[in-house]
Chain A
Amino acid sequence: MSISIIESSPGADAITPANSPQIRRERREKQLRIILPITAILLAVGLWEFLVWYNEVPHYLIPAPSLIAKTLVTDWSSLMQSAAFTVKLTLMSLALAIVGGVALGMLFALSRPVEMSLFPFAVILQVTPVVAIAPLILIYVSNTFVALLICAWIVAFFPILSNTAIGLRSADHNLRDLFSLYQATPLQRLRYLLVPSALPYFMAALKIAGGLALIGAVVAEFVAGTAGQNTGLASRILESSFRNEIPRMFAALFLVSLLGIIIFLVTSWLSRAVLGHWHESEIKRER
C-alpha cells in the first residue's frame, strides 16, 4: 500500500481515476483471477502428460491428456449424444425441482400446519440416499427416462424447497409491519416483500441444486445400468469400464466435470445478475 503511494508520488497531482494505485491494483487482481487458475490447470495437465510419458504408464492404467483429447475427437458423436442426454436429464430435473420446490415452499410459508404435515416426507426423501431408492423406482416406473428423472429430481428438490420456505419467512419484521400498515393485499405482500426477501436464499439453493441435479442424473444412470439405447455419460463411463477403454472413460468423465463446471458458472452468474446490486453476498466491496 505505502509502496504504491511512493511510486506515484512524483506525479501525485496527476492521479486520475485511470491510473490511481487503487484502480491499477484492481485491474491487476482481475487479470490474476483469470491467469492464475488457467496457468495452474495447464501446469497440472502438462505435469500429468510428462509423468505418463516419462514413466511409460500404459494407457489402460492412466491415459495421457493428449490421448484423452484424441478419444474426445474420435468418439465425438457418440459422446455428444450421451452428453445431450445427460444435459436434458439434468436440466429437466432441475426445472421440476424448481417448480415443485418453490410451489411447496410457498405453501409451507403460507401455512404452518401444511408444513408440519408434509415436512417429514421431504426430509425422508432427502436423507434416504438416492442410490438406495433408485432400483425401486426403476422397477415401478417402466419408462427409464422418467425413472431417471425422478431420481435426479429427488436429489435436487430438497434444497430448493427448504431455502424457499426459509427465505419467504425471512422478511424483515418492520417491513412486514409497514405492509400491514398500508393494508397490502396478500398478493402485493408476496410480490413486493416476500419474494424479494426470499431471492437470496433461492439463489443459494439454485447453486446447490444445479450441482445436485447433475449428481442425481449420473448416479441414477449408474444404478440403471447401460440398458436402453438412448443413454447418458454415466452409461458411457460404465460401458468403457466393462470394455477396459480407459481413455474413453476419462473422456466421458471430463465431459461430466465440464457440465458441472458450466452449471456452476451459469448459476453463479445468474445469482450475481439478480442480487448484485443489493445483496451482501454478491456485492463487491471497495477497499
Chain B
Amino acid sequence: MNDPSQNADQGELIAMRDVDKVFGNGTVAVRDMSLNINQGEFVSFLGPSGCGKSTALKMISGLLSVSRGSITVNGHPAGSGSDGNDIGYVFQEATLMPWANVYDNVYLPLKLHGVNKAEARTRVEEVLSMVGLANFARSYPRELSGGMRMRVSIARAMVTRPKLLLMDEPFAALDEMTRSKLNDEVLSLWESHGLTVIFVTHSVYESVYLSSRVVVMAARPGRVVHDIPLPDNYPRNVDYRMSSAFTETCKKVSSALEGTLHNVDLNH
C-alpha cells in the first residue's frame, strides 16, 4: 500500500501494540496506539499540542514506560536490547552541555560507551563536517546561533551511527529560513545513511515536505486518527516545496488535522 522510499528495506523496525500511557495524575497521554514502522521510513507524528506525540516518541525511545500494551524496537522491548547505540534522539531544544565545547558535546555518547579516543575522534570529526561545523569544534554552545546549536545536537545523535533517529519538534524554535535549511539537511542524512526517522512536529508543511508517511494524532486522549502515506518522490527539494503536488498534499493533511481540532472543540 505504501512504498515509502527507495532506501526502505521493508523490515519491520518498530511495532506498537495497543499502547496506553496514563500519567500519575490521571492524564491519559496516549490511548490505544498501534503502529508499525518499517526500516527506512520517514514518519512524522503530526498533531496539536497535548496529542501525545512527544509521549509516544519517548516511549519508543524507552525514556517513558508504557502503561498498557507493548512496544518493540528491532524485536526487543523498547528501552532494552541495545545500549542506546541504535537510537539517536534530538530534543526540542538543542540540549547541549553549556560547560563543554562542541567537540566534547558530540563526543559524549561515545565517551559514555567507552569508545577509544582515536576512533571517537574520527567519528566526531566526521559528523561535525557532515553538519558543516568542522570549524567550530572548540566553540562553546553559547557562542553559537540557535540553528548551529541544533546542528550540534543532530551531530551528537548521529555520532553513534544509529539506525533510528527520533526527533522531538527539533526545529520549532528556529526561524523559517534556518528551519527549511535544516529540513533539507535531515532529508539528506536520512537518504544517505539508510536511517529510519520519526519526526514529531505540529507543522503540516514540515511533515509533508519531509516524510514518507504522516501519522496524524488528536488530543485528549492522545490517539492516532489518520495514517497517511505520502507519494514517494524523493529526493525532494525547493522545487517540490513550490509545486502544486506539494500544496495538494498539504491541503489533504491539513483537513485531516483540522478534523482532530474540531473534535477537541466539541469536547470542551
Give A contacts to B, CB under 8 Å.
172, 174-175, 177-184, 188, 192-193, 196, 199, 277-279, 283
Residues of B within 8 A of A192 (CB): 97, 108, 111-112
How many chain B residues sit at the interface, stated as a range, is 20 to 34
Say yes or no: is B40 at the interface (Cβ < 8 Å to chain A): no
Residues of B within 8 A of A283 (CB): 142
Distance in angstroms between the alpha carbons of A220 and B266 in the assembled complex: 71
Residues of A within 8 A of B87 (CB): 181
Distance in angstroms between the alpha carbons of A172 and B100 in the assembled complex: 14
Q: By the criterion CB–CB under 8 Å, are B84 and A183 in contact? A: yes
A275 to chain B, nearest CB (A): 8
B111 to chain A, nearest CB (A): 7
Q: By the criterion CB–CB under 8 Å, are A199 and B99 in contact? A: yes
Residues of B within 8 A of A279 (CB): 98-99
Give B contacts to A, CB under 8 Å.
58, 61-63, 83-84, 87, 89, 91, 93, 95, 97-100, 108-109, 111-113, 140, 142, 160
Cβ-defined partner of B62 (8 Å) among A172, A181, A196 = A181
Q: Tell me the interface secondary structure of chain A in the complex.
A: helix
Chain B: CB-nearest residue to A274: B99
B106 to chain A, nearest CB (A): 12
Nearest 10 pairs of A and B residues by beta carbon: A174-B95, A182-B84, A278-B99, A182-B112, A196-B99, A174-B91, A184-B112, A278-B98, A182-B109, A181-B84
Q: By the criterion CB–CB under 8 Å, are A180 and B97 in contact? A: no
Residues of A within 8 A of B109 (CB): 182
Distance in angstroms between the alpha carbons of A184 and B113 in the assembled complex: 8
B127 to chain A, nearest CB (A): 15
B124 to chain A, nearest CB (A): 15
Distance in angstroms between the alpha carbons of A193 and B109 in the assembled complex: 12
A251 to chain B, nearest CB (A): 44
Q: By the criterion CB–CB under 8 Å, are B83 and A278 in contact? A: no
Q: By the criterion CB–CB under 8 Å, are A182 and B93 in contact? A: no
Residues of A within 8 A of B91 (CB): 174, 177-178
A246 to chain B, nearest CB (A): 51
Q: By the criterion CB–CB under 8 Å, are A175 and B97 in contact? A: yes
Chain B: CB-nearest residue to A171: B97
Residues of A within 8 A of B98 (CB): 278-279
Q: By the criterion CB–CB under 8 Å, are A183 and B83 in contact? A: yes
Q: Across the A-B interface, how many residue pairs have beta carbons closer than 8 Å?
A: 53
Residues of B within 8 A of A277 (CB): 99, 140
Residues of A within 8 A of B160 (CB): 182
Cβ-defined partner of A181 (8 Å) among B63, B93, B140 = B63
29 A-B contacts, Cβ less than 8 Å apart?
A: A174-B91, A174-B93, A175-B95, A175-B97, A177-B89, A177-B91, A178-B91, A178-B95, A179-B112, A181-B84, A181-B87, A181-B89, A182-B109, A182-B113, A182-B160, A183-B83, A183-B112, A184-B112, A188-B112, A192-B97, A192-B112, A193-B97, A196-B99, A278-B98, A278-B100, A278-B140, A279-B98, A279-B99, A283-B142
Residues of A within 8 A of B89 (CB): 177-178, 181
Residues of A within 8 A of B84 (CB): 181-183
A284 to chain B, nearest CB (A): 12
Residues of A within 8 A of B113 (CB): 182
Distance in angstroms between the alpha carbons of A184 and B109 in the assembled complex: 9
Residues of B within 8 A of A179 (CB): 112
Distance in angstroms between the alpha carbons of A188 and B114 in the assembled complex: 11
Distance in angstroms between the alpha carbons of A188 and B99 in the assembled complex: 16
Chain A: CB-nearest residue to B98: A278
Cβ-defined partner of B61 (8 Å) among A172, A181, A199 = A181
Distance in angstroms between the alpha carbons of A175 and B95 in the assembled complex: 6
Residues of A within 8 A of B97 (CB): 175, 192-193, 196
Query: A182-B84, A182-B109 in contact; A278/B63 too (CB < 8 A)?
Result: no
Q: By the criterion CB–CB under 8 Å, are B112 and A180 in contact? A: no
Residues of B within 8 A of A178 (CB): 89, 91, 95, 108
Residues of B within 8 A of A188 (CB): 112
Q: By the criterion CB–CB under 8 Å, are A172 and B99 in contact? A: no
Instruction: Give the residue among B58, B98, B113, B160 with the most A Cβ atoms within 10 A.
Output: B98
A200 to chain B, nearest CB (A): 9
Chain B: CB-nearest residue to A179: B112
A125 to chain B, nearest CB (A): 32
B115 to chain A, nearest CB (A): 11
A177 to chain B, nearest CB (A): 5
Distance in angstroms between the alpha carbons of A277 and B98 in the assembled complex: 9
A228 to chain B, nearest CB (A): 46
Distance in angstroms between the alpha carbons of A96 and B140 in the assembled complex: 34
Instruction: Give the residue among B61, B62, B95, B160 with the most A Cβ atoms within 10 A.
Output: B95
Residues of A within 8 A of B99 (CB): 196, 199, 277-279
Chain B: CB-nearest residue to A283: B142
A171 to chain B, nearest CB (A): 10
Chain A: CB-nearest residue to B166: A181
